[in-house]
Amino acid sequence: MSPYKKSLITPFKLVVIAFIVLLLANCSALEPIETPTVEQSNPLAIQAQEALSQQQFSRAAMLFKQLAKNSQAPLKNQYLISAIEAYFNAGDLTNADSLIDSLLTPSSQLTSDNKLSLATLLLEQGKAEDAISVLMSVSELNLNNEQRIDLHTLTSSAFFQAGNLIESARERIILDALIDEPTSKLNNQLDLVNVLSLLSEHALRALLPTADNNMAGWVDLAIIKKQQVTFIPNSSDVESWKQQYPTHAANGSFLLTMAKQSQENFIAPNKVGVFLPSQGPFSQAAFSVRKGITAAAYSMANKWPLNIHFYDTSSTPIETLYQQAISDGVNIIIGPLDKKNLSKIALLPDLPIPVIGLNKNGSHHSPHYVEFSLSPEEDITQILSFAWLKGHQKALILTPQSNSGERLAGHFSSLWQKLGGQVLDVQTYEANQADYSTAIKSLLQIDDSVYRFKQLRQRLNLNIKFEERRRHDADFIFLLASPREGRLIKPQLRFHRAADIAVFSTSKIYEGEQNKGANRDLDDVFFCDMPWLIEPNKQQNGSLNQALKQWPNTRGLHRRLTAFGYDAYQLIPHLEHLKSNHFARLDGKTGILSMNNNVINRQLSCGQFQRGQVKSLGLAPHLERTMNMQSVVPSPQHTEHVNTAPL
């Protein structure tokens, strides 16, 4: 294994560790698990294969277990791995996890091939840390070169899912020495630079003092890439890099390939139209979005000349504005912001001008329509993945007594149970109160403890000393709350003896500004939010921070909307690359941006309140399994007109 890995690094322990966006091309293209070859003379094996072909997965799993019972290692273990896969396909997580536990014991006698197959399956189920443990136990002494490539590709993927981009990049460096085929080697090198580029510049520079010359060369190249809008191979920075690393693997044609790729991926249109209202309920939000668009345009003016035309959606029908934009020679449109106008855009038979809609709109299927939103459901999916990766299983939910609170709690509950976790209880509270003890005591079942005490005292007729007790079957609380509510609820949880239960929340709990005094009451709460708000002082955030000095009263949600507008504009020249390459990424203010089915996904950053300040924990985990899940939504009468954007 890698000489860099002295021991398994627990995620979130190092500031420089960042969390996964999605697996890159070579990381996620994992080989399917090989089912043991059917023995023509073994009826059970034939029946198991037939059950799989008929999608009778539970029956197939039982047959594979019987085959394993009658076999010796390593064939026994391969049959058990096939049974695990069948249980997962059947949705039977309990039996699958039980078999996984049996294989992770030292007595299981797993071969290297067994371990690679098991690790592949574990990664597909989001069990990254278990996969890392398995992969690190593989001895390379008897592996051929192809097996070594498989091992380090899997290990790179596992570190991605576990959130350790640094170790994942180091695995890519090992792969660079193992891969001989030119195209595969080039793709691995590009992936290596791209994964390092997802780290902040501060995190990259922190690696340099302890990095060897090879690693340092890749890190310095990633820093240069982050500092340039498009990579320029003959720039003074690159020339200095060439002199510093004359024998480096990237010093040669690779730099020209990087530059060519960078140029091809930056397609800037001539004229941009923006559809936003100047009046009405969305006007203040629109003004904040407009500020962000303006800031981004000025920051990119050296590479992309300004040519923006703003259209007022509050005074003219959206259909008329769209036709006007065509007449004006607009090449792409940002907006509209509200769902009513977005639904009208969706009714247009064709979109000769591409549109970046700034809200949820699942009804438009034009290839020229891109959806970009600040979806609270997306926040929940990522904080859920964060809690799962930290090993939590049993959840309590505390949510406001409102349509949106109950909807989001339902979204969390549905996905958490599909992931394999348990939701033990859901409790609602009335917002804008000072005392939330009734809801908290109910959630923690403290009232049951008090009731038992009263019954015992009455029966014994004695003055018994009593100390209230809470439930002990839950290992974390998912809290939906505003900053005000959170600052009241968290201390009350401590008062009711729940200080040792982890609390996870969404970006809603954070105002977006450092407020050390007020935020002390939120200490220990985990949440995920825009990278710009988690680490506002990163060097690449300077342009947006400078622009906001012109609008010092931009606070709370409007800070997020300004970053939202900034990203909507800087997305434009990268749209084609994001659309054509599922693994392409853009380092945005609202998150690491990617595209899937014409929907922009935002990879958030996670943080924790410590002594009133937000400590960055890096990028949120983005487990492939949670991204492919759909929550079970409430009945249609409750959701038909739900606005999922925070406007």
Q: Are residues 359 and 453 in the same domain?
A: no
In the chain, helix, strand, coil percent, each to 5?
50, 10, 40
The answer to whether residue 198 is domain-embedded is: yes
Residue from 214, 128, 222 nearest 174 by CA = 214
Q: Are residues 141 and 169 in the same domain?
A: yes
Q: Are residues 350 and 382 in the same domain?
A: no
User: Which structure tokens are listed for 525?
Assistant: 């709460």
Contact assessment for residue 357 and residue 371, using Cβ atoms and an 8 Å cutoff: yes
Contact assessment for residue 407 and residue 634, using Cβ atoms and an 8 Å cutoff: yes
Residue 586 main-chain phi, psi, to 5 deg: -130, 125
The answer to whether residue 2 is domain-embedded is: no
Residue from 189, 198, 165, 195 nearest 540 by CA = 198
CA–CA separation, 608 vs 525, rounded Å? 6
Check residue 182 and give its pLDDT: 92
The answer to whether residue 290 is domain-embedded is: yes
Chain segment 115-137, per-residue pLDDT in tens: 998 999 888 877 788 889 899 99
User: Which structure tokens are listed for 33?
Assistant: 């698990």
What is the CATH classification number for the domain harbouring 586? Answer: 3.40.50.2300
- Total domains in the chain come to 3
The answer to whether residue 235 is domain-embedded is: no
Q: What is the mean pLDDT of residues 428-442?
A: 92
Q: Are residues 309 and 404 in the same domain?
A: no
| 128 to 51, 84, 198, 383: CA distances (angstroms) | 29, 16, 19, 16
Q: Are residues 526 and 561 in the same domain?
A: no
Confidence of residue 282 (pLDDT cuts 50, 70, 90): very high
The answer to whether residue 186 is domain-embedded is: yes
pLDDT of 644 strictly over 90: no
Q: Are residues 591 and 611 in the same domain?
A: no
What is the CATH classification number for the domain harbouring 198? Answer: 1.25.40.10
Contact assessment for residue 629 and residue 28, using Cβ atoms and an 8 Å cutoff: no
Examine the fold and report which residue of 209, 226, 243 is the final residue of a domain before the chain moves on: 226
Residue from 573, 544, 506 nearest 307 by CA = 573
User: Which structure tokens are listed for 29?
Assistant: 């293209």
What H or E segment, with its residue span, contains residue 606?
Answer: strand 605-610
Residue indicated by tokens 């407020």: 515
Among 43-47, 568-572, 630-634, whose mean pLDDT is lowest? 630-634
Task: Estimate the crossing angle of helix 283-299 against helix 557-571, to 10 degrees.
Answer: 50
What H or E segment, with its residue span, contains residue 488?
Answer: helix 483-495
Check residue 510 and give its pLDDT: 95
CA–CA separation, 490 vs 227, rounded Å? 40
pLDDT of 498 strictly over 50: yes
Contact assessment for residue 637 and residue 626, using Cβ atoms and an 8 Å cutoff: no
Q: Are residues 362 and 381 in the same domain?
A: no
More confident position, 36 or 547: 547
Check residue 463 and give its pLDDT: 59
Q: Are residues 509 and 470 in the same domain?
A: yes
CA–CA separation, 213 vs 208, rounded Å? 9
pLDDT of 20 strictly over 80: no
Check residue 23 and give its pLDDT: 36
Check residue 626 and give its pLDDT: 63
CA–CA separation, 225 vs 7, rounded Å? 31
What H or E segment, with its residue span, contains residue 529?
Answer: strand 526-529
User: Which structure tokens are listed for 196?
Assistant: 């390092």
User: Which structure tokens are listed for 590?
Assistant: 């609202």
DSSP at 365: -
Q: What is the mean pLDDT of residues 274-283?
A: 96
The answer to whether residue 222 is domain-embedded is: yes
When computed from its CA atoms, the radius of gyration of the chain, rounded to whole angstroms, is 27
Confidence of residue 394 (pLDDT cuts 50, 70, 90): very high
Check residue 36 and give its pLDDT: 55
Q: Are residues 598 and 608 in the same domain?
A: no
Check residue 153 and give its pLDDT: 94
How far from each other are the two terminal CA atoms of the chain, in whole angstroms?
50
Residue 262 main-chain phi, psi, to 5 deg: -65, -45
Q: Are residues 481 and 545 in the same domain?
A: no
Whole domain around residue 411: which residue ranges? 376-530+604-627
Check residue 445 and give its pLDDT: 85
The answer to whether residue 240 is domain-embedded is: no
Q: Are residues 85 and 205 in the same domain?
A: yes
The DSSP annotation for 552-581 comes to: TT--THHHHHHHHHHHHHHHGGGHHHHHH-
Confidence of residue 454 (pLDDT cuts 50, 70, 90): low
The answer to whether residue 646 is domain-embedded is: no
E-assigned strands of 206-316? 272-276, 308-312
Q: Are residues 217 and 324 in the same domain?
A: no
